[in-house]
Chain A
Amino acid sequence: AQKITQTQPGMFVQEKEAVTLDCTYDTSDQSYGLFWYKQPSSGEMIFLIYQGSYDEQNATEGRYSLNFQKARKSANLVISASQLGDSAMYFCAMRDFQTGANNLFFGTGTRLTVIP
């Protein structure tokens, strides 16, 4: 079953502008974690930000913030003040803690292009 949905195959943003990358998830568990990873053209997977299902505050890490809307099961990534180096693939992922499994389920990704 599809657990993570990223509906935007590609996004463009002007340098210095903010951009939101969408992610919705599907789980019946109460305890889970949501992650965003960046994959630049060099190929490595870079962890960006984490949100726990019980966290009341939206997670923030520098220019990255996670817009967590639990009732809507969405965990959108907001990148503020986009930079050329933000051009990359972005993956949303989820881990179900209640099942005891520790693997991450990944979405299909969104390719972000920052325009100078």
Chain B
Amino acid sequence: DAGVIQSPRHEVTEMGQEVTLRCKPISGHDYLFWYRQTMMRGLELLIYFNNNVPIDDSGMPEDRFSAKMPNASFSTLKIQPSEPRDSAVYFCASLPGTSGYTGELFFGEGSRLTVL
């Protein structure tokens, strides 16, 4: 089975530009998570969805960040306008929704964003 697929793998953009990161979760997984990894803050949860509905977006840093999940197989994380401090690796992860499942999150390979 295909894993979690993220695109782009690398993005270099200039300050002020819009950035869109994409994620396709594993088929059948009900939960989707967006994490951000930086040297200063480590791995932090930005937002997660259950059955396409945002459940917890308390980690979204500010209004410049938005995330959507229009269907079970696709999610986007958008930054507009981007700033240099947004430079980070953004991970998408998914999780089965099976009742009682206690296993691991399945991570994509990450999208490395550099804002100049």
Do chains A and B stick together as partners? yes
The reply to whether the CB of A45 lies closer than 8 angstroms to some CB of chain B is yes
Q: How distant is A68 from chain B, measured CB to nearest CB, in Å? A: 14
Q: How distant is A86 from chain B, measured CB to nearest CB, in Å? A: 19
Residue with the highest number of chain A CB atoms closer than 10 Å, among B33, B43, B109, B112:
B43
Interface size on A, residues (CB 8 A): 21
Q: A103-B56, A104-B105 are in contact. Are A45 and B33 (CB under 8 A)?
A: no
**For residue B106, which residue of chain A has the nearest CB?**
A47
Near B by CB (< 8 A), chain A positions 81-115 give 91, 95, 97, 101-109
Contact B56 A45 (CB under 8 A): no
Q: How distant is A62 from chain B, measured CB to nearest CB, in Å? A: 15
> Which 6 pairs of residues, A with B, have the shortest CB-CB distance?
A45-B107, A106-B43, A47-B104, A108-B42, A103-B45, A44-B109
The chain A residues found within 8 Å of chain B, CB to CB, are 33, 35, 37, 43-45, 47, 50, 52, 91, 95, 97, 101-109
The chain B residues found within 8 Å of chain A, CB to CB, are 31, 33, 42-45, 48, 50, 55-56, 89, 91, 93, 95, 102-107, 109-110, 112
| Sampled A-B contacts (27; CB under 8 Å) | A33-B102, A35-B104, A35-B105, A37-B107, A43-B89, A43-B110, A44-B107, A44-B109, A44-B110, A45-B91, A45-B110, A50-B103, A52-B102, A91-B43, A101-B55, A101-B56, A102-B31, A102-B48, A103-B33, A103-B56, A104-B105, A105-B45, A106-B43, A106-B44, A107-B42, A108-B42, A109-B42
